[in-house]
Structure 1
Amino acid sequence: MALNLSRREALGVLGAIGAATASTAPTPAAASHVEVGRYVKRQGVHGRMTGAQAAAAALFCEGVQCVFGIPGAQSNEFWDALKARRLPYLLVTNESSASVMADAAARVTGQPGVFNVVPGPGLTNAMTGIGEALLDSVPIVGIITDVIQGPDAPLGQVHSLPNAALLRPLVKALIEVQHQAEIPGAIYQAFEIARSGEPGPVGIMIPFPHFNAVWDYDQPPPPPRPLPFDENAYRQVLGQLSNRSRRVGIYAGLGCMDAGPALTAVAEMLQAPVATSVSGKGCISDCHPLAVGWGYGKQGTRAAEKTFKDVDLVLAVGVRYSEVSTANYAIPPHNVIHVDANPHNLGRNVPTCVKLCADSQVFFDRLLADAPSIQRPPSPPLLKKIKDVRQVDHRENSVPKITRGVDPMYFLTQLRYALGPDELIFVDVTASTHWASEAISVQGPRRYFTPTNNQSMGWAIPAAIGAQRVRPDRQVVSITGDGCFLMSAMELSTAARACLPVKFFVLDDGAYHYMQMLQEPVYRRTTATEIARIDYAAFARGVGLGYNEIAQNPDVGNGIGRALATPGPLLTRVIISYEGREVRWLNALKSTYVSRLPTDAKVRMASRIGVRSLSRRPDDD
Structure 2
Amino acid sequence: MKDDRSAVPAPQAGEPTPMTGGEALARQLVKEGVRDIFGVPGVQLDWAVDALAGMQDELRFIVPRHEQATSYMADGYARSSGRAGVSMVVPGPGMLNALSGLATGYACSSRMLFLAAQIPSDKIGRGLGMLHELPDQSGILKSLVKWHGLAASPAAVPGVLRNAVQQLHSGRPRPVGVEIPQDVLQRSEPVALADATVAAEPGQVDEALIERAAALLRRARMPVIVAGGGIVAAGASAALARLAERLQAPVLVTENGTGALSSRHPLALNWLSSRALLPHADVVLSVGSRFIEPQGAPPRLRADARLISVNAEAQDLGPPRTPEAAICADARLALEALAAALDGHRPAADRTGDVQTLRAWTAAQLADIEPQCEWLRVLRSAIPDDGFLVSDLTQVGYPAHLGYPVYEPGTFISAGYQGTLGYAYTTALGVAAAHPDRAVVAIAGDGGFGWTLQELATARRYHLPVVLVVFNNEAFGNVRLLQERQFGRSYATELTNPDFMHLAKAFGVDGMRVSNPAGLAGALAGALAARRPALIEARTGAFPSPWHLIRGGAPATPNPLGTPINVEGDTP
TM-score class normalised by the smaller sequence:
0.7 to 0.9
| In 2: Cα distance, 1:208 partner to 1:198 partner | 31
* 1:479 lines up with 2:443 in the alignment: yes
Structural RMSD (CA) = 2.6
Identity of aligned residues (%): 29
Residue-pair matches, total: 534
**Does the 8 A contact of 2:147 with 2:177 survive in 1?**
yes
Q: How far off its partner does 1:203 sit?
A: 0.8
Q: Tell me which residue corresponds to 2:335.
A: 364
| In 1: Cα distance, 2:13 partner to 2:101 partner | 29
Within 5 Å, give how 1:579-618 maps onto structure 2.
579-580=543-544, 582-586=546-550, 588=552
Task: Please list every run of 5 or more consecutive structure 2 residues that lacks an aligned counterpart in the other structure.
Answer: 2-9, 556-572
Q: Tell me which residue corresponds to 1:216.
A: 191
* 1:183 lines up with 2:162 in the alignment: no
Tell me the amino acid that sits aligned with residue 455 of structure 2. Answer: E
Q: How far off its partner does 1:240 sit?
A: 1.4
**Does the 8 A contact of 2:393 with 2:444 survive in 1?**
yes
| In 2: Cα distance, 1:327 partner to 1:557 partner | 37
Q: Tell me which residue corresponds to 2:106.
A: 134
Tell me the amino acid that sits aligned with residue 48 of structure 2. Answer: F
Q: How far off its partner does 1:557 sit?
A: 2.6
For each residue in 1:429-469, what CA deviation from the matched residue of structure 2 results, as whole angstroms up to 9, or x when unmatched? 12322321112111111100010111111100100011101
| In 1: Cα distance, 2:109 partner to 2:320 partner | 17
Task: Please list every run of 5 or more consecutive structure 1 residues that lacks an aligned counterpart in the other structure.
Answer: 1-25, 27-39, 592-621
Tell me the amino acid that sits aligned with residue 337 of structure 1. Answer: I
Taking structure 1 as the reference length, the TM-score comes to: 0.81
Structure 2 residue matching 1:150: 3-state secondary structure: helix
Tell me the amino acid that sits aligned with residue 159 of structure 1. Answer: H
Q: Tell me which residue corresponds to 2:321.
A: 350
Give the counterpart of 2:311 among 325, 337, 340: 340
Give the counterpart of 2:90 among 111, 115, 118: 118
Structure 1 residue matching 2:113: 3-state secondary structure: strand
**Does the 8 A contact of 1:185 with 1:221 survive in 2?**
no
Moved more, 551-560 or 180-189: 551-560
| In 1: Cα distance, 2:283 partner to 2:504 partner | 52
* 1:155 lines up with 2:128 in the alignment: yes
For each residue in 1:170-191, what CA deviation from the matched residue of structure 2 results, as whole angstroms up to 9, or x when unmatched? 1112111112111111111111
| In 1: Cα distance, 2:216 partner to 2:527 partner | 51
Q: Mark the CA change 1:124 to 1:52 in structure 2 (over 3 Å): closer, same or farther.
A: same
* 1:532 lines up with 2:496 in the alignment: yes
Q: Tell me which residue corresponds to 1:3.
A: none
For each residue in 1:262-292, what CA deviation from the matched residue of structure 2 results, as whole angstroms up to 9, or x when unmatched? 1100000111111122121112111000001
Structure 1 residue matching 2:114: 3-state secondary structure: strand
Q: Mark the CA change 1:90 to 1:223 in structure 2 (over 3 Å): closer, same or farther.
A: closer
* 1:202 lines up with 2:172 in the alignment: no
Q: Tell me which residue corresponds to 1:596.
A: none
Within 5 Å, give how 1:59-138 maps onto structure 2.
59-85=29-55, 86-138=58-110
**Does the 8 A contact of 2:474 with 2:497 survive in 1?**
yes
For each residue in 1:593-620, what CA deviation from the matched residue of structure 2 results, as whole angstroms up to 9, or x when unmatched? xxxxxxxxxxxxxxxxxxxxxxxxxxxx
Q: Tell me which residue corresponds to 2:209.
A: 233
Q: How far off its partner does 1:104 sit?
A: 0.7
Within 5 Å, give how 1:281-300 maps onto structure 2.
281-293=258-270, 295=271, 300=272
**Does the 8 A contact of 1:256 with 1:360 survive in 2?**
yes
Give the counterpart of 2:228 among 253, 262, 267: 253
For each residue in 1:314-363, what CA deviation from the matched residue of structure 2 results, as whole angstroms up to 9, or x when unmatched? 1111111355xx46546122432111111111134432221111111111
Q: Mark the CA change 1:65 to 1:348 in structure 2 (over 3 Å): closer, same or farther.
A: farther
**Does the 8 A contact of 1:98 with 1:115 survive in 2?**
yes
Q: Tell me which residue corresponds to 2:513.
A: 549
| In 2: Cα distance, 1:45 partner to 1:491 partner | 41
| In 1: Cα distance, 2:426 partner to 2:546 partner | 29
Q: Mark the CA change 1:312 to 1:518 in structure 2 (over 3 Å): closer, same or farther.
A: farther
| In 1: Cα distance, 2:103 partner to 2:194 partner | 31
| In 2: Cα distance, 1:145 partner to 1:53 partner | 14
Moved more, 127-136 or 340-349: 340-349
Q: Tell me which residue corresponds to 2:378.
A: 414
* 1:171 lines up with 2:145 in the alignment: yes
Structure 2 residue matching 1:204: 3-state secondary structure: strand
Tell me the amino acid that sits aligned with residue 314 of structure 1. Answer: V
| In 2: Cα distance, 1:517 partner to 1:588 partner | 18
Tell me the amino acid that sits aligned with residue 493 of structure 1. Answer: A
Within 5 Å, give how 1:364-513 maps onto structure 2.
364-372=335-343, 375-377=345-347, 379-380=349-350, 382-391=351-360, 393=362, 407-513=371-477
| In 1: Cα distance, 2:334 partner to 2:138 partner | 37
Q: How far off its partner does 1:552 sit?
A: 2.7
Moved more, 410-419 or 548-557: 548-557
Taking structure 2 as the reference length, the TM-score comes to: 0.87
Moved more, 195-204 or 314-323: 314-323
**Does the 8 A contact of 1:51 with 1:215 survive in 2?**
no
| In 2: Cα distance, 1:546 partner to 1:126 partner | 28
Structure 1 residue matching 2:122: 3-state secondary structure: coil
Tell me the amino acid that sits aligned with residue 451 of structure 2. Answer: M
Q: Tell me which residue corresponds to 1:279.
A: 256
Tell me the amino acid that sits aligned with residue 275 of structure 1. Answer: L
For each residue in 1:370-418, what CA deviation from the matched residue of structure 2 results, as whole angstroms up to 9, or x when unmatched? 2236x233844x2122124324555776x8977xxxx332111111011
| In 2: Cα distance, 1:578 partner to 1:389 partner | 29
